[in-house]
Amino acid sequence: MNCSIHIEAIYPAIDCDASSIKRIVGDKLTVAADIFSDSHHVLGAQVRSRCGRVPTSEWQVLPMVHKDNDRWQATLTLTQNTTVLVCIDSWRDAFGTWLEGLRKRMEGYLLAPFGVDEGAELLCRAVDIATGADLQRLATALVGLRTANTLLAAWEAVQDPALAGLVNRWLPRSDIVTSATLQISVDRPCALYSTWYEMFPRSQGRELGKPATLRQAAERLPALRAMGFDVVYLPPIHPIGLTHRKGPNNSLIAGPNDPGCPWAIGNAAGGHMAVDPGLGTLSDFDAFVATAAEEGMEVALDFAVQCSPDHPWVTEHPDWFKHCPDGSIKYAENPPKKYQDVYSLDFDTHDQECLWRALLEVLTFWISHKVKIFRVDNPHTKPFAFWKWVIAEVQREWPEVIFLSESFTSPNVARLLAKLGFTQSYTYFTWLNHAKELQDYMQELCYSGMQEYFRPNFFTNTHDILPEVLQTGGRPAFKMRLVLAATLSPSYGIYSGFELCESAAVPGCEEYLNSEKYEIRVRNWNQPGNISDLVTKVNRIRTENLALQRLDNIHFFVSENACLLIYGKRHNDNILLIVVNLDPHNTHHGTVNIPADFVGILPGSRYEVVDLLNDAVYDWGECNYVHLDPQVQVAHILKVHPPS
């Protein structure tokens, strides 16, 4: 008799599609599903998994355990940086069904006569196939069952707890049903936990108006590593166009010594696979990457899919660009912004395959120069299909490559880009300032299902964005946003000058005044008022506390003061409580309520907390008083020491 088996509600599938699910090497992946049939037969189930990048790899099998109702699950340990294919099999378990009937008769639920022939026949079929130790255990059960002359004796003969599994392992299965195949991206740890620093190499010199070379810029890497950064992100390092080159503050006219905007890529010296001569040569870039590696850092390069009017592609492949009705090539626009120095590529070109391959070649070229992280500029303005294809092409050969999506756009588009393969994503954190909106956003990132595929990177600021709170809040605002970014998200970043509390903006907007995008800056990294020591301390706290290296472990707590954000992160016995004053201008105080079960104590108990920012020790319980003066201390990062 046939039975219809259904496999539904598969976890961790998102939107009925698990191709976007992300995990980290070392994670345990729980695969679960509702499995049921239209009969009383007992079912068996297993998870099969194999490496998706090696078509000839063998399937590994793991039995699923029936949890409750129709829910089954199994847990895999992910050990390789690769794509893992996973599917679920279910079948009618003939021996299990027979065992269930025997149990019911033993318990008196079934009074009909019971014979051992069916069970013995199934065992016999398994014995004929089995080998090794399995054969011995199966044969022992078969002899016991055949010689049993009472119901009790038959029951005792099949009490080996592993027996049902052994029969299932060796007995040919009937009515087997297989789920759709899930695809899990297993990334290296840096994909989840990383600490980014954005810097313009040309601004790392000491002489006003003179660009630094890459070798000079490399001299700053030890200081960045000492502050705790493990990724240094470089805006485009390629030759910069001369036609319509922008001057200071995005002016339309550039002087003879103005360096231009690095995102206007390409001139007679080359395009996306060349280094700007002012920065040096490819050898100098290789030396920069090598120095970073010696310091324990990785280099992230900007991948900007656009060209200056002087890019070699403009003359070699004019059909790759969008044209105006008069035949001229269109410059790029993002209203109200206009980019007269940039041409946008036309992904609808009839030569689409060659264009896509050329862009893939750009990525593989820099990978050959030991770049394994790319920050992608405005991916939402290019076809989704291209990103799905190019990321898959790269990661098929280099699964360790990480792509960061710089997509400040609608939530649906940002989420889709993550599902298409982007490893990390910029977020709306930059503009969130109030306790409720921060809490709501974190709940969405961590517990709505987004945590399965969307990895946030909380940048405090960027070369494009100087948020209002940093323009008006002074040093306390920089300290506050640093603590928030570094403790809410396992990956975060700052842009050069943040540690100096640079806050001068173009009036009425979020653009930096005298932006580094259009001119060379020279900074005194030790100038009075800098917060480099705090950056160093916060990054060290992140390194030493595993609770801050995960996303899906945050819990928010209650305070009657809306200007205090209180949350905790816990990983095994590493427990942190963070309290942040969100108002950089005023002192705030109030009570903080911490449930006893979060810190693992009995209700009413007391425990010790140590503030990792200043080593102060406090006696805490379920209700605690906090007082934060932003001119003195904007936050507590408290490590919990529960009583023995």
Give the residue numbers marked as catalytic.
Answer: 377, 406
SS3 label, residue 311? coil
Helices and strands in the chain: count of H runs, count of E runs: 17, 30
Pairwise CA distance, residues 223 & 182, whole Å: 44
DSSP result, 264-282: SB-BTTBSTTS--TTT--H
Q: List all residues 6 or more positions away from 335 whose beta carbon is below 8 Å from its beta carbon.
A: none
With 0-12 / 13-18 / 19 or more C-beta atoms within 10 angstroms meaning exposed / middle / buried, residue 504 is exposed
Residue position matching structure tokens 């279910």: 90
Q: How far apart are CA 626 and CA 607, in angstroms?
A: 16
Helix H or strand E segment including 329: none
> Cα 488 vs. chain centroid, distance in angstroms?
14
**What angle in degrees, to the nearest 10, is found between the helix axes of 132-146 and 117-127?**
160
DSSP reduced 3-state for 221 = helix
- Torsion sign over Cα 188, 192, 194, 198: positive
* Residues in contact with 412: Cβ distance below 8 Å, sequence separation at least 6, in sequence order: none
Return the residue matching tokens 């990294």: 525
Query: How far apart, in whole angstroms, are the C-alpha atoms of residue 346 and residue 595?
Result: 56
Cβ neighbours of residue 131 closer than 8 Å, sequence gap 6 or more: none
